[in-house]
A and B are shown apart, each in its own frame.
Chain A
Amino acid sequence: MDGTLISLFSAVESGTIYALMALGVYLSFRILDFPDLTVDGSFVTGGAVAAISIVNGVPPVLATFYAAIAGFLAGVVTGILNTKGKINPLLSGILMMIALYSINLRIMDKPNVALLNEPTMFSQVEGFWASLGIDNFLNGIFTMAGSDRVPGTWAILIIMVIITLIIKFITDYFLKTEVGLALRATGDNEKMIRSFSANTDILTIVGLGISNALVALSGAFIAQYGGFSDVNMGIGMIVIGLASVIIGEALFGTKTIARTTLAVIGGAIVYRIVLTLALKVKFLETGDAKLITAVIVILALVAPKIIATQKEAQRKKRKRAMLASGEGANNA
């Protein structure tokens, strides 16, 4: 074993954090049918607000909360640009993304903020977690599975799984409430839900707010996980979000809302695993990550269609063969 297991562990760990971002993208992209590029900016906003707050002595939990609020506001502005300013969805998002780049620089006052010696939500939990002694047990399993290295702590994975699942369940519930149904209909058939007295402008604005709050929350956790916030950490984030949504839906299905949100979380983790394994290939470098991402998305988009076409062709072939042999029997 050459540390594959341990890097897979890291992939799952960061996957659960990016899953929040993927849930945000799911809300805008699938529920509201709004391809929202704000994500590239609001992810950094989340990281920046959390980092700068922590550096200035704000407790990490509160700093993370501020990050979500900042993301919410970014989404609200995109929503207002689209609904009140009548700017097309893609352009609203792009405008907000580019504006946020400068705003994020202003928030941090420099291109990056380090958190190495600062408390984070994870460092605060780690101490408590270590005292429980569960790590020894889990690491034992890890060693038995054949790994010569073990994770430093399981706290991050455990806490992120809990947070991500809580947010998933809240999202599932919200999308079934009267407001949530109206929000889904806004993305599905806007004319119809307006004729049932829903204010689609407000719903779009609030929906994008919630979506970007989740994205910023994810950014805040990533900053605390990696120990820094960087103004460029959001580049390509929307594509990673889409990759997670599309992979998740293709692998785990979309039968119900609860199933789909779980699929999106699964998609985010699978994406990280695939990326990690791809980067283990000898001739690929870290800088190729974005290219690999693009290829993964393309495969996830194209492969299901090719498989479906082949299945259909085989079905027809079987049917023809069956009919032909049936006729043969009749003639004989």
Chain B
Amino acid sequence: MLSMQDIAITFNEGTLDEKKALQDINLEMQKGDFVTVIGSNGAGKSTLMNMISGSLKPDIGTVKINDKNVTLLPEHKRSQFIGRVFQDPMAGTAPTMTIEENLAMAYARNKKRTLKVGVSKKRKALFKEHLETLHLGLESRLNAKVGLLSGGERQALSLLMATFTEPNILLLDEHTAALDPSRAELITNLTGEVVEQFGLTTLMVTHNMQQALDLGNRLIMMDKGQIILEVSGEDKQKLTIEKLLHEFQRIRGTQMENDRAILG
């Protein structure tokens, strides 16, 4: 489904601020794979995401989605295949527009946008049906402006908008990090449900190690722009936070620096 070959990118090349953000990235994801990505700040997790979404283009290497080379495809065209949820709950929805209008925009992702009314009666029923799966009562507030919703509600809506058109790939960029623990748990559970329901191929960046262990069938650990560890299947199920930290120390010969990651 997703294939990244020999991806590398360097920021500010030839200056004092030169940073090799990604080096020799090779990643293959089969349909239905759910990969969690962990690593300290600056490890290259977000750059990896941006490389897949198309907001960054690699210096070298190719990105393929469904065996189609999309390396040079601009972001807005690539997003026909890719659903995204951002860390900031404000980022994934349009605040001055209503819930149903937001869903209508998401619904048009993999279709050509026309001059027909975005929120038709038929679609309204469909939107309601999908909103009910969130169990937040949003289905009775279709005409509410999204700016009035709480952070957790907005993030749940973002998650729904990113997934209900069944994209080829779902990218989750620390999408529970800005929420309080109970809301984060709600979104984490919803994520698990929705990914399973649609069988989505998913890549999730997280700082929360427990979340990375609980969700998904594969886990990768990044450091200094490289993938340093890959665990999948049964090995991943047996993994614990202690083991992960130990692995990091064994590979890198240093302690993992990020307190946030450890405490998570």
Q: A residues touching B (Cβ–Cβ < 8 Å)?
A: 173-174, 176-182, 184-185, 188-189, 191-200
**Which B residues from 189 to 220 make CB contacts under 8 A with A?**
none
Q: Which A residues touch B95, using CB under 8 A?
A: 188-189
Is B108 positioned at the interface, with any CB of A under 8 Å from its CB? yes
Q: What 10 pairs between A and B have smallest CB-CB spacing? A: A188-B94, A178-B113, A197-B79, A185-B94, A181-B118, A189-B94, A197-B80, A178-B118, A196-B109, A177-B115
Q: Which B residues touch A192, using CB under 8 A?
A: 91-94
The reply to whether A191 and B91 form a contact with Cβ atoms under 8 Å apart is yes
Interface hit among B9-17, B96-104, B233-241, B248-256? B96-104
Is B168 positioned at the interface, with any CB of A under 8 Å from its CB? no
CB of B145 to closest CB in A, whole Å: 10
Q: Which A residues touch B114, using CB under 8 A?
A: 177-179
The reply to whether A197 and B109 form a contact with Cβ atoms under 8 Å apart is yes
The 0/1 profile, CB within 8 Å of A marked 1, for residues 105-141 of chain B is 1101110011111110000000000000000000000
Among A176, A188, A197, A198, point to the contact of B119 (Cβ < 8 A). A176
Q: Which B residues touch A182, using CB under 8 A?
A: 105, 108, 113
Is B77 positioned at the interface, with any CB of A under 8 Å from its CB? yes
Interface of B is mostly: loop
Among B76, B109, B118, point to the contact of A180 (Cβ < 8 A). B118
Given contacts A177-B114, A178-B113, contact A194 B97 (CB under 8 A): no
Q: Which B residues touch A199, using CB under 8 A?
A: 76
**Which B residues from 147 to 182 make CB contacts under 8 A with A?**
161-162
List 20 additional A-B contacts (Cβ < 8 Å) besides A174-B115, A176-B118.
Answer: A178-B108, A178-B114, A178-B115, A178-B117, A178-B118, A179-B114, A181-B108, A185-B97, A185-B105, A188-B96, A192-B91, A194-B76, A195-B75, A195-B82, A196-B109, A197-B77, A197-B109, A198-B76, A198-B105, A198-B113
Q: Which B residues touch A176, using CB under 8 A?
A: 117-119
The reply to whether A181 and B101 form a contact with Cβ atoms under 8 Å apart is yes
Is B53 positioned at the interface, with any CB of A under 8 Å from its CB? yes
In the complex the two chains form, what is the Cα distance from A192 to B110 in whole Å?
15
Which residue, of A174, A194, A200, has the highest number of chain B Cβ atoms within 10 A? A194
Is B57 positioned at the interface, with any CB of A under 8 Å from its CB? no
Q: Which B residues touch A185, using CB under 8 A?
A: 94, 97, 105
Q: Which A residues touch B45, using CB under 8 A?
A: none
Q: Which A residues touch B93, using CB under 8 A?
A: 189, 192
Given contacts A181-B97, A185-B97, A200-B76, contact A195 B84 (CB under 8 A): yes
The reply to whether B91 and A194 form a contact with Cβ atoms under 8 Å apart is no
In the complex the two chains form, what is the Cα distance from A197 to B113 in whole Å?
10
In the complex the two chains form, what is the Cα distance from A174 to B94 in whole Å?
18
Q: Which A residue's beta carbon lies closest to that of B83?
A: A195
The reply to whether A196 and B79 form a contact with Cβ atoms under 8 Å apart is yes
In the complex the two chains form, what is the Cα distance from A173 to B117 in whole Å?
8
Q: Which A residues touch B118, using CB under 8 A?
A: 176-178, 180-181
Among A177, A195, A197, A200, point to the contact of B116 (Cβ < 8 A). A177
In the complex the two chains form, what is the Cα distance from A182 to B109 in whole Å?
10
Given contacts A188-B97, A189-B94, A199-B76, contact A178 B116 (CB under 8 A): yes
Given contacts A192-B92, A195-B84, A197-B109, contact A178 B104 (CB under 8 A): yes
The reply to whether A194 and B116 form a contact with Cβ atoms under 8 Å apart is no
Q: Which A residues touch B162, using CB under 8 A?
A: 195
Q: Which B residues touch A191, using CB under 8 A?
A: 86, 91
